[in-house]
Structure 1
Amino acid sequence: MDLDPELAALRPLGGFFALRTAPPAAREAPPSLPTLAEAYGDASPDGDGHPLTLRVRKVALALRAPETRIAASVAQQGLAARLWSVALGCAALYGSLPDLDPRLLRWDPRGSAPDDLWLTEVHARPGDAATLTDAVLHAHLEPLAEALRSRHSVAPGLLRGNAASALAGAARQLDRWARGHGRTDVSARCGALTAQILAHPLLAATGTLTGTAFRRRSCCLYYRVPGAGVCGDCCFARPPRSSPRAPSG
């Protein structure tokens, strides 16, 4: 199936998969939103107006996070989930994916979850695992992790674990949809792509994939939010009673 300009096949999969695209007459819209390339860079090095600073602050306020690094971790995992969902969904449904160059994706850091992304141009690329890895892990998640580490001192292993967890979560959701709609072909492609991507050297040591279940070896720190428990794929069976710092891998 060829990519359509609106990526309409993603819409039934839900908010993490659906991606807004600019109509042909509005390729420059919305000009007020930063691109993800700008978010990963130092367009506003003084801090307050930087897109990542805005996003982490919003997440921190929403969660009542006692530490900024918790909000940074949750913000990174949310954006990773969006990017993996779009890429994996397109690869499994269309057999190809759009060019997800950070310069083509505009982002509203003040938006609600799932992250509001707008692709300004739709150009098809191959849908193989290597292309997905380049499109998401290398083009987005590595520069995003570097930016967050420099601003919020989040451990590299934690961020890699978040990246793997986000991929596994997207795959699980897509597999559930595919099986529910009799699309065994989509389920098979999804499973094969996910396993290949998780075998990448940056992700291979982050956890174990069994079927569609993933158990990570690090913790995203969400358990440190007041009233929160542990995530379904956490390395902890229950929230630690007292731990100054969670495992970061």
Structure 2
Amino acid sequence: MRTRGLDQTGGVMMDQRSSRPTRLHADPPPAPPSAVFHAVADVSSMGDRFELGIGRVEAGWRPFTDLFTDAGVLGQRIGDVAERLGTAEARVAASILFQKLASRLCSPLFGAAVVHGLLVELVPGRVHWRPTPDGVPPPLRTTDLAGWEIRDPARTAERMYHTVVPGLLEPLAEAVQGVVKIAPGLLWGNVASSLAGTVRALARVRPELTGAALALARELLDLGLLRDKGELAEPAPGHPFFVRRSCCLYYRARDGRKCGDCALEDPGALRDRWTRAVWESRGAR
């Protein structure tokens, strides 16, 4: 049976199984559309994972909802990724596709929140994707965007989680599990890992915002389906370090390997990465 709890401020009702917020804090002030578009355009320039197109969709673009309402479409995408990775294991391809899509959905919103103090909303029915010849990651485009001026990491995390997880990633995860037998903990570990990768990517291009990025990521990783999926630390200033509690299965692909945050990684190798981060930090001073 599902139970619900109220936070001490009386602000958010949470579903204990999926941690879906059912009532959020009072709405923050809306941001002008021009500010939202500027923030997304600026963040998109930081790298592919942050890119989010805005505007009219043309031929070739498909509704994102196709991926979790049409098993044939999703199965085709999983097959394309399997071919690209050189694997006959559908679960490996499904895992990597889900991880890349999670990164594409989370990174632009995360970047806009950290860099511009704006919380951007993605409405599932307005998000589109376009197949690419090499399989992943598919570009995303939205026909419209709204945003709010919000700067507190805890409140930002609650609303970002509500936008991305129940609205987009939970239906996608359920659809993936309907096509391929794969552990749900693995999929949500992929989301946590993608989020940590976004922190590292942002820290490289906007190092002065590393602290703010870490603060928001820690809040997100303590919510609902992302809770207890890994540890995010900072062994040295400006050097985020994440270790997940599951494996994305990439090592089973043709040219795959264990990722740097893999739970299967040798403890000695993890200690070496930690030590290297500390020494790199000292050398940069």
- TM-score, structure 2 as length reference: 0.73
Q: Give the 5 Å matches for 1:1-249.
A: 2-4=35-37, 7-22=40-55, 27=56, 29-30=57-58, 32-42=60-70, 45=71, 47=72, 50=73, 52-110=74-132, 112=134, 113-125=136-148, 127=150, 128-179=156-207, 184=208, 186-211=209-234, 212-237=240-265
> 1:202 Cα deviation (Å)?
1.3
Structure 1: give runs of 5+ residues left out of the alignment: 239-249
Amino acid at match of 2:84: A
1-side partners of 2:92 and 2:205: how far apart? Answer: 31
Q: Secondary structure at the match of 1:106?
A: strand
1: CA distance, partners of 2:39 / 2:206: 21
Change in 2 beyond 3 A, CA 1:130/1:21: same
53 and 6 in structure 1: CA distance in 2 versus 1, 3 angstrom threshold: farther
Instruction: Letter of the 1:9 partner, please give it.
Output: D
Q: Which amino acid aligns with 1:57?
A: G
Tell me the SS of whatever aligns to 2:141. Answer: strand
2:95/2:248 contact within 8 Å kept: yes
Q: Which is richer in strand? A: 2
Amino acid at match of 2:124: P
Q: Give the superposition deviation at 1:98.
A: 2.7
Gaps of 5+ in 2: 1-30, 151-155, 235-239, 267-285
Structure 2: distance between partners of 1:203 and 1:156: 11
Deviation by residue 1:173-193 (Cα, 9 ceiling, x = unmatched): 1122111xxxx2x32321111
Which has the larger share of helix? 2
**3-state secondary structure, aligned to 1:57:** helix
User: Match for residue 4 of structure 2?
Assistant: none
Counterpart of 1:11, as a letter, is S
Indicate conservation of the 8 Å contact 1:171/1:194, yes or no: yes
Higher CA-based Rg: 2
Moved over 6 A (4+): none
**2: distance between equivalents of 1:132 and 1:4?**
17
For residues 97 and 105 of structure 1, what CA distance do their matches in structure 2 show?
16
Q: Encode CA deviations 1:101-132: one digit per residue, 9 max, x unaligned.
A: 11111001345443211111122145511111
Counterpart CA distance in 2 for 1:193 and 1:99 is: 16
* Other-structure match for 1:247: none
- What do you get for the CA RMSD once the two structures are aligned? 1.9
SS in 1 for 2:124: coil
TM-score scaled by length of structure 1: 0.83
**Alignment-mate amino acid for residue 13 of structure 1:** M
Q: Taking every aligned residue pair, what percent have the same amino acid on both sides?
A: 36
Matched to 1:21, the amino acid is: I
